[in-house]
Amino acid sequence: MILERFLGSMLLVLIGMFANVLGAFVGINIGTDVSSMPSASDVVAVVKAHQITHIRLYDADSHMLKALADSGIEVTVGVTNEEVLGIGESASAAAAWINKNVASYVPSTNITAIAVGSEVLTSIPHAAPVLVTAMNNLHKALVASNLNSLVKVSSPQSMDIIPKPFPPSTAAFNSSSNSTIYQLLQFLKNTNSYYMLNAYPYYGYTNGNGIFPIDYALFKPLPSVKQIVDPNTLFHYNSMFDAMVDATYYSMDALNFSGIPIVVTETGWPWQGGSNEPDATVQNAETFINNLIRRVSNNSGPPSQPTIPINTYIYELFNEDKRTGPVSEQNWGVLFTNGTAVFPLSLSGSSQITGNSTTVFCVAKDDATEDKLQDGLNWACGQGQANCSAIQSGQVCYLPNNLKNHASYAYNDYYQKMHSVGGTCDFDGTATTTTNNPSYGSCIFTGSSNSSTGGGISPPVAFGPISPLGESAKLPVSKAQLLIAAACLVVVLL
């Protein structure tokens, strides 16, 4: 057992070597509960325009898989929760699924993974007994089609199966699911696959009863007196995201499994919510997503596995307005269906920003008090003669309905019209200038390169580093590095 765990640890180190050489990626989920869902070809065009290299589908839609042919985009296809039972009970059903939804499209469509169900252990627990059987049946069908080396099989699970994720070092899977989870981990180990984790700091924060500060959930730096430290390992956690990933590694270790890397298949932050969801704001969503991209793109892992990058899929591409539940459920998308960004998206390792330009904008400061913002807004829309029609109820910039958003629009409109004749961006200390275009969706701020048209496609944003040639940036790889790493891997596997 000690030797096996040592080899598992060595394998993780080697996986980290390869991953760091190639660079971590940030992909995106594409949900379809959208009333005005673009055609498959239009969706792929948007994905290409934004230089997204990895996507996850929740099914195996034939139109999408055909549209993705010859794009090079890596695709994770999904077995729906409704299909899990049938595939788990019938090897022939699994073979038919692989023939129809995978073998028919590769290699033209670059399918690299199958996600079996969505949070099966918590969303459809009655299917848990056949989950791993379904995964095995699919894997055997891939072997029969000689595709098992190209396509990995796994199953996304919620953080809910880890009842006490903090401190990470003492985290463990829910004991009632241990049997299924053990079988799942054994399958992943045997097939050299990876653990798919859905990790949402938004829910960790909003359901946390104020235990953790919101800055911790948003990847913001914490003051020294509020550092989050695991008392057993003394590891410092700079974000709830890292702590969630580490809690999962420790939970696997508690079942004596190591050497299984984690890929975060879902994470995100809603940009609008109901009256009882005050943390679902454009500002918080923008902060979380951009900081997430920077975090993942630094190619490091959580404190317990620092050499293993955390490949991650953002939830999600478009708002799914047909979803039921709280208002926030319909507002996780980073793009509107016309291709415009909900909020500016910065690129890790690059100064580029969606909608970035040489224009200087005037926006409200984050720490401005509401009283002063209201005074500034009143002055700008009154004596300052800013055009504030767009922030009136029912207009394109009314939502999100808060003082900071409305003041930013009014401040900027005033500044764009008056700075050439001496107008300043101060408003009693509540405003600041920025080169980051604050436009979002159909709300176009004065001074934007597309403000005269009132809309349009934002400049492409890549969910990962951008090279000078516009391709996804990868760390340089020497043949010697690859040969050494490969040789070490062979030695370990022997």
Contact between 459 and 436 under an 8 Å Cβ cutoff? The reply is: no
First-to-last C-alpha distance (Å) of the chain = 16
Q: Which residue has better confidence, 55 or 446? A: 55
Contact between 37 and 476 under an 8 Å Cβ cutoff? The reply is: no
* Mean predicted confidence (pLDDT) in 409-429: 87
Count CB atoms within 10 A of the CB of residue 374.
14
Write the DSSP symbol of residue 346. Answer: B
Q: Where are the domains of the chain?
A: 22-335, 361-434
pTM assigned to the model: 0.71
pLDDT in tens, 136-185: 999 999 999 999 999 999 999 999 999 999 999 999 999 989 999 999 99
Q: How far is CA 334 from the centre of its chain?
A: 10
The Cα–Cα gap between 439 and 311 comes to 29
* Mean predicted confidence (pLDDT) in 112-121: 98
| The pLDDT of residue 355 is above 50 | no
Torsion sign (Cα): 70, 310, 122, 132: positive
pLDDT confidence of residue 6? 44
Active-site position among 74, 83, 119, 320: 119
Tally of residues, the chain: 494
Which residues are CB-contacts of 432 (< 8 A; sequence separation ≥ 6)? 362, 363, 365, 425
pLDDT-based confidence at residue 444 (cuts at 50, 70, 90): confident
Contact between 55 and 64 under an 8 Å Cβ cutoff? The reply is: no
pLDDT-based confidence at residue 103 (cuts at 50, 70, 90): very high
pLDDT confidence of residue 50? 82
Geometric angle at alpha carbon 45, from 98 and 286, rounded to 5° = 100
> What are residue 419's phi and psi, to 5 degrees?
-65, -25
- Is 266 tagged catalytic? yes
- Is 119 tagged catalytic? yes
| The pLDDT of residue 295 is above 90 | yes
pLDDT-based confidence at residue 446 (cuts at 50, 70, 90): confident
Its CATH architecture, for the domain 22-335, is: Alpha-Beta Barrel (3.20)
Active-site position among 74, 83, 266, 286: 266
